[in-house]
């Protein structure tokens, strides 16, 4: 790509292209009677220069691994992105008329329904972190020279996740990452925190180690020079801080409050003011096509544990990951500075080049994982189950993006013991069950854990594995199989009077309860529902029909977890059984694991009491 100085003819072309992008964005929002044209107008010149002179992208081959990546973190400026696609010849001008319409690819915020969109955006503060993950992949794993460009709004720089991304990118010296910040002064309801003070942003970013360039965001020559400087800077990431005017080019809305998120009051007048419609087509420089690499897949020998041994599921998780790393060259593991606790340290020791330490920054942990998935890697990210709640919006958006992620949460539930409620994941099953296309797994022993870790790599969407901190007895032999969507019936007879459904830490408690009940002449069926989503509805319905009574027991709040998964599976059954859900009802404190289970009412004695209550009803 030529980075020679902008000539007079180049200048005229870039000015005209900026106006064309504005016009097309205005007309798209006008056709939809909704949208964010003023946020698009402010960044039009920034994107005109990028598209015409700096972006390297093959729109005919969106999967070309050598392509640059462009992420609109300010996803509400989608009319501008779609106008760029028109200028590049990727979509027709006519398609803009269907913006925000039912069935249209041109949704209100960008999604991968379009092949040139890497991830869904619109939840502000996420694009830079994902861009950093893509850039990390390019430098550390892909060994390719593509660049990552992220268009950010100034308002979203108030998000803490942005600064997690800023520090990660600086620490990792991501020289292939450029943030283009549209400093247009106005947010949704009024001025942003720093207004047009680009120096304030420069000082903050510079303190983290970023190279910063302050420019007039409507001076195409200055923008071009800034992008050239960013590409030449090899010391780390660069931020182009561009002072712009929201609604630029249209007097009725330029730098005007109260115009955010609305079509222009008179689109025809605005188009005329901008010089009318144009049909400029930009020949975006396409990098030489490179064949996507394929992972080296070998036979997997997962760890094997002997029945009766005491092994923590989190340990089996870490050992299985390390083994999986030898079988799959595309597996990358990420951790949030708790690798000794989550046991991802086993993987780090054997595959350090494919381990990412994200430190105590769970949002960036997830964003980096998403960026790696965009580049075709298989990311497996781990932290405490409780701390996934901090990153939940990133996981939610990853689901919307259709990204494939494997996630693990250790230290789940009250059974962690003395650390207290701040460390206890008691909401995680509900959080992950609620996601679109998600898989939620909760193993109870080491062999089951190892099998499920391997199984997760064969599925799609968001996959979550809940691991237990303490040692647990190995119940299953290594020959057992655990298909996703299945369950294991551990006790069963033709005379069962009650069904006990458990998972994870409560499975041994359910088995002990069944033994106590058997001693008093009551046969209980015990189901290990290790696949919480998808759920083995057939086995549950059969047990409910056979026994007429169901007790669910889980180390989780009673809302949204195992018990609700069982109720969902039983909904619509010909005969609804009597169901009693046991879960953590009161806020726990510090106590031993055994005391915690007893206090929470989810130990064996509590299960026996619940079963007898149903039997006496």
Spatial distance between the Cα atoms of 297 and 299, rounded to a whole number of angstroms: 7
In angstroms, the CA 498 to CA 516 distance is 13
Task: Classify residue 511 by burial, with Cβ atoms within 10 Å: 0-12, 13-18, 19+.
Answer: buried
Angle at 365 between CA 361 and CA 367, to 5 degrees: 115
Closest of 189, 176, 150, 152 to residue 50, by C-alpha: 150
Question: What is the bridge-based pairing of β-strands 439-441 and 531-533?
Answer: antiparallel
Whole-number Å distance between alpha carbons of 66 and 57 = 8
220 class by beta-carbon count within 10 Å (0-12 exposed, 13-18 middle, 19+ buried): buried
In 10 A of CB 240, how many CB atoms?
Answer: 28
State the pairing for strand pair 238-243/310-311: unpaired
Contact 412, 438 (CB under 8 A): no
Cα 483 vs. chain centroid, distance in angstroms? 24
| CA dihedral sign of residues 316, 319, 325, 327 | negative
Instruction: Choose the catalytic residue: 172, 214, 362, 497.
Output: 362
> Active site includes 362?
yes
**90-98: Cβ within 8 A, 24+ apart:** 90/59, 90/116, 93/24, 93/279, 96/24, 96/27, 96/28, 96/31, 97/27, 97/28, 97/31, 98/31
Determine the Cα–Cα distance for residues 231 and 422; give it in Å rounded to an integer: 44
- Residues 415 and 413: their CA atoms lie apart, in Å, by 5
Main-chain phi, psi angles of 409, to 5 degrees: -125, 120
- Output the CA–CA distances (angstroms, integers) from residue 417 to 292, 342, 592, in the order listed: 47, 16, 5
Residue with tokens 């979203």: 156
Q: CA–CA separation, 222 vs 202, rounded Å? A: 17
The helix or strand, by DSSP H or E, that contains position 525, with its residue range, turns out to be strand 524-528
Q: Is the link from the previous residue into 25 a cis peptide, with omega within 30 of 0? A: no
- Give whole-number Cα distances, 11 to 14, 228, 280, in Å: 5, 16, 14
Residues catalogued as catalytic: 362
């Amino acid at each position: 790509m030529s980075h020679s100085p902008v000539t007079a003819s180049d200048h005229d072309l870039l000015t005209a292209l900026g106006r064309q992008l504005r016009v097309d964005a205005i007309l798209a929002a006008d056709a939809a009677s909704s949208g964010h044209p003023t946020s698009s107008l402010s960044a039009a010149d920034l994107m005109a220069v990028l598209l015409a002179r700096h972006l390297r992208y093959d729109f005919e081959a969106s999967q070309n691994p050598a392509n640059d990546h462009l992420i609109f973190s300010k996803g509400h400026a989608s009319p501008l992105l779609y106008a760029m696609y028109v200028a590049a010849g990727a979509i027709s001008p006519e398609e803009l008329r269907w913006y925000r319409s039912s069935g249209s690819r041109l949704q209100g915020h960008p999604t991968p329904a379009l092949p040139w969109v890497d991830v869904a955006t619109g939840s502000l503060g996420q694009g830079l972190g994902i861009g950093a993950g893509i850039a990390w992949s390019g430098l550390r794993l892909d060994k390719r020279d593509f660049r990552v460009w992220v268009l950010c709004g100034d308002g979203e720089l108030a998000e803490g996740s942005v600064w997690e991304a800023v520090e990660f990118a600086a620490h990792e010296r991501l020289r292939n990452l450029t943030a283009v910040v549209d400093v247009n002064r106005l947010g949704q309801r009024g001025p942003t925190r720093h207004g047009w003070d680009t120096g304030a942003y420069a000082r903050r970013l510079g303190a983290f180690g970023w190279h910063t360039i302050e420019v007039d965001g409507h001076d195409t020559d200055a923008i071009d020079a800034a992008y050239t400087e960013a590409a030449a800077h090899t010391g780390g990431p660069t931020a182009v801080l561009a002072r712009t005017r929201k609604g630029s080019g249209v007097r009725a809305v330029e730098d005007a409050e109260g115009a955010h998120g609305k079509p222009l009051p008179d689109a025809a007048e605005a188009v005329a003011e901008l010089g009318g419609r144009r049909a400029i087509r930009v020949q975006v420089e396409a990098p030489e096509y490179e064949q996507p690499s394929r992972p080296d897949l070998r036979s997997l020998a997962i760890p094997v544990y002997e029945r009766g041994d005491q092994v923590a599921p989190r340990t089996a998780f870490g050992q299985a990951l390390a083994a999986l790393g030898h079988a799959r060259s595309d597996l990358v593991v990420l951790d949030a500075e708790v690798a000794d606790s989550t046991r991802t340290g086993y993987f780090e020791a054997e595959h350090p080049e494919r381990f990412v330490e994200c430190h105590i920054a769970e949002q960036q942990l997830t964003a980096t994982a998403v960026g790696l998935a965009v580049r075709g890697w298989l990311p497996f990210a781990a932290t405490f189950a409780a701390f996934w709640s901090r990153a939940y919006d990133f996981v939610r958006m990853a689901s919307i993006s259709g990204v494939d992620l494997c996630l693990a949460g250790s230290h789940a539930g009250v059974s962690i013991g003395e650390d207290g409620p701040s460390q206890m994941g008691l909401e995680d099953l509900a959080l992950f069950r609620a996601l679109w296309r998600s898989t939620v797994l909760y193993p109870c022993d080491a062999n089951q854990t190892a099998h499920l870790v391997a199984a997760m790599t064969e599925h799609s969407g968001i996959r979550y594995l809940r691991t237990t901190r303490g040692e647990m007895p190995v119940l299953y032999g290594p020959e057992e199989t655990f298909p996703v969507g299945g369950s294991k019936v551990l006790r069963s007879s033709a005379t069962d009077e009650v069904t006990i459904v458990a998972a994870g830490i409560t499975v041994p408690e359910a088995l002990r309860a069944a033994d106590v009940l058997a001693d008093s002449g009551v046969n209980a069926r015990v189901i290990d529902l290790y696949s919480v989503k998808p759920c083995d509805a057939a086995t549950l319905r059969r047990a409910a029909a056979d026994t007429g009574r169901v007790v669910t027991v889980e180390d989780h709040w009673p809302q949204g977890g195992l018990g609700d998964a069982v109720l969902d599976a039983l909904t619509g059954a010909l005969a609804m059984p009597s169901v009693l859900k046991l879960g953590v009802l009161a806020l726990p404190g510090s106590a031993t694991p055994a005391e915690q289970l007893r206090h929470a009412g989810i130990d064996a004695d509590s299960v026996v009491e619940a079963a007898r209550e149903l039997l006496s009803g």
